[in-house]
Structure formats: structure tokens, C-alpha cells
A and B are shown apart, each in its own frame.
Chain A
Amino acid sequence: MHQDAELIARCQRADASAFDAIVARYKTKIYHYLYRMTGNAEDADDLTQEVFIRMYTNIGKFRAEASLSTWLFRIAGNLAVDRFRRTKNSRRLVTSLDAPIQVGEEEASRDVPDMSMAPEVLVGRRELADHIESALAKLPAKLRSAVILFDVEGMSYDEIAGVEGIPLGTVKSRIFNARVALRDSLRPYLETE
């Protein structure tokens, strides 16, 4: 945190190397969050670039009312929501697990994993990740953001409250509701436990 403050102070003295250091420090975290929010690498890459461009152009006005991390994730979250609204591409993100997939000119049923396998066995399998990502994409953006920040990015409730600008109780409610919705989507993987 102290290092962040130093980097910001240097940026505010127009030290470009400090900006590079901030990018190196946060690019993977922000990209990872945006990848989970948008569901695809192209949008995540584009928005992550945009986050740092916004930071670059606004660093002179940044105050220490929030941490650098909170500020960057807040920009990222707002950009993701704006992107959803502007492009209306939620259709592309949400794929029904029951819907057939197109193979050439024919349709084929989806490769649903063997339900008799425990989740631990399925860890690392791309198909499980696809199902989880699909379940995440079905969530409303607010719930998705809260659960990603906590369960994927490892933020605390307080940090999420800062990023989202909501009370602590609302953070807990959103995480609970997100997990309930995800549980319903991923139930086939849960019932074998």
C-alpha cells in the first residue's frame, strides 16, 4: 500500500516510470477480473488497456480517499458495465448448457461432464471452467462483480464495499445471492458430493 502511494505521488510529478510500475503491478489482476466479468479475452484486453489509459489521464486528480487498487477495480467495473450496456452482448456471454452446439451444419449435444465425478477430479478441466464461466455470465453484473472480487480475486468484504461503493451488508447479500444462483446453475456438479 505504501508502495502504491509512492508510485502515485511520482506519477503526479509526471514520472512516467512510476506509471509503468503501476501497470506491471496491476495489469494481471485487472485483466483477470475483466476476463471473468466479460467472459472473453478480447474484451478483457481492450478494457484493461482502457483502465490504465483512464488512470494515466486522471492520475493528477486522484486523491487518497481510496486505495489505488480500489480505484483501478472501480474503473474496471464501471467500464465492464458500460460495455455490457453499450454492446448489449450479454447474449454472446450466456450460453445455455442445454442448448445444442453447432458442428459444421449439424447440431450436437453439449459434452456434459460425467456427474459421478467429484469436483476435485474435474479441477483443471476446460469444460468445467466453461460451465462455471457460463454460470457467471448469467448473473446480473452487480452480483457477478461481487462474487468474482471475493471468490476469484480474493478481496475482503471491506475492499469490495470500497470498489462497488456499497455498504458491507449489501456486499454480503450480493455474494450470497450470487452463490445461490451459481449453485443452481452448477447443481449437477454439487449433488455428487
Chain B
Amino acid sequence: METKLKTCPNAEKTIVGYIDGNLSATEHIAFERHIASCSVCRTIERELRMTQTLLRTLPSVDPRQDFEARLAARIADVKLKPSPWWMRVWLPSYVKPAPRRHVAIPVVAVASVVASLGFVYVSRVPTVKAGAVQTAAASDETAVLSELANQHHAASATQSLGDTSGVVVVASDMATGGSW
């Protein structure tokens, strides 16, 4: 019987997977077609399924009632050793509550990106303003720019102070008498 079994491709693993319900739908259908025509595999499948049924009839067994008490007595002189702090902090595979670890990674990543963008923004705004002022001051078109700025200042005077565009800041400087 087992000699014949070897002629069936992947019969062992397929039969086990079939009995245990671990075949894909395609594999399942293919194997059902196979055992319809292969009496060897069909017999083995039936007998192994019955064997599994017998195994599952084994009664459950429980440890003795005083299991914990005896265990406690055996470890009474031993203290739980906390893991070194650096292992808990630095080793990524170290035990931590799983959800926290999964949440922590994207939170830290997003926070890093936001912090980086904020730093770039904060560091660029004054540079742009100063550059614009210097360029404008050095330009032959200072008068034209002043005029445009005055017009913009007049137009934006009614806007809320929450507007953080560079132009408004420049206009405010002008309104307070600050130099360009």
C-alpha cells in the first residue's frame, strides 16, 4: 500500500492537509477528484481520519490540585530577575505589549516628520523675508516695490492677524515704521 502511495504526487502532505482542512479550494477539489479514482489514497485517507478521531477521544487530564503550592515552594528562594533596562529600551524585538509597539513606530515617525517640517518652515521664513528685503533694497525698482507693498498693506489691513504670510509681516513692519 505504501509503495503505491509513493506513486501519487505529494500524497502524504496532501492527505494530511485534506484531513486537517488545510488545503486551498483548488487543492481540495483536485484531491477529491484524485481519491475518487485512487482507491489507495481513499483508503489511507479514511483510515487516517479514523485514527485522528480515536486520538481525539483521549480524556483530558489535569495537574494535581497542589501544583501551584509545590511550584511556589520550589522557587521560594529564587527571585524574579528583571531584564536589564537597556534590553527593554533598545532591542526592538524585546517583549513589549504588542499594540503599543505597533502604534509607537508610526507615531514616532509622524512626529519626526512634523518636527522636521516645522524646523524647516521656521528657519526659512525669516531668511526669505530678509532676503526679499535685501534684494528689494538693492534693486533699482525699490520705489515700485514700495508702492506695491503699500498697496498690499492697505488691502490686507482688514485681514486677521492670524495671516502668517511673509508679505503681511513685511507690511506690518512698514506700518510700525521698521526698516525694510
Chain A residues within CB distance 8 Å of chain B: 1-2, 5-6, 8-9, 11-16, 19-20, 23-24, 27-28, 31-32, 35-36, 41, 44-45, 48-49, 52-53, 56-57, 59-65, 119, 122-124, 128-129, 132-133, 147, 150-152, 157, 169, 172-173, 175-177, 179-180, 182-183, 186-187, 189-190, 193
Query: Do A52 and B71 have beta carbons less than 8 Å apart?
Result: yes
In-complex Cβ contact of A2 among B50, B61, B78, B99 (8 A): B99
Query: Do B50 and A190 have beta carbons less than 8 Å apart?
Result: yes
Q: Which residue of A lies closest to B22 (CB)?
A: A157
Q: Which residues of chain A have C-beta atoms less than 8 A from B138's C-beta?
A: none
Can you name 20 A-B pairs with beta carbons within 8 Å? A12-B83, A12-B95, A32-B60, A35-B61, A49-B67, A53-B75, A56-B80, A57-B81, A60-B84, A64-B95, A119-B50, A119-B57, A128-B54, A129-B57, A132-B55, A176-B15, A180-B44, A182-B51, A183-B51, A190-B54
Interface membership of chain B positions 63-104, coded 1 if the CB is closer than 8 angstroms to chain A and 0 otherwise: 110011011001100111111100010010111111100000
Question: How many angstroms between the C-alpha atoms of A45 and B69 in the bound complex?
Answer: 13
Query: Do B97 and A31 have beta carbons less than 8 Å apart?
Result: no
Question: How many angstroms between the C-alpha atoms of A177 and B71 in the bound complex?
Answer: 37
Total A-B pairs in contact (CB under 8 Å)? Answer: 154
In-complex Cβ contact of A119 among B12, B13, B53, B84 (8 A): B53
Query: Do A60 and B62 have beta carbons less than 8 Å apart?
Result: no
Question: Is B115 on the interface with A (CB-CB < 8 A)?
Answer: no
Known: A61-B83, A173-B12, A183-B47. A2 touches B52 (CB 8 A): no
The list of the 8 closest CB pairs from A to B, nearest first, reads A60-B83, A31-B63, A60-B81, A14-B82, A14-B80, A172-B13, A151-B55, A12-B83
Q: Which residues of chain B have C-beta atoms less than 8 A from A59's C-beta?
A: 80-81, 83
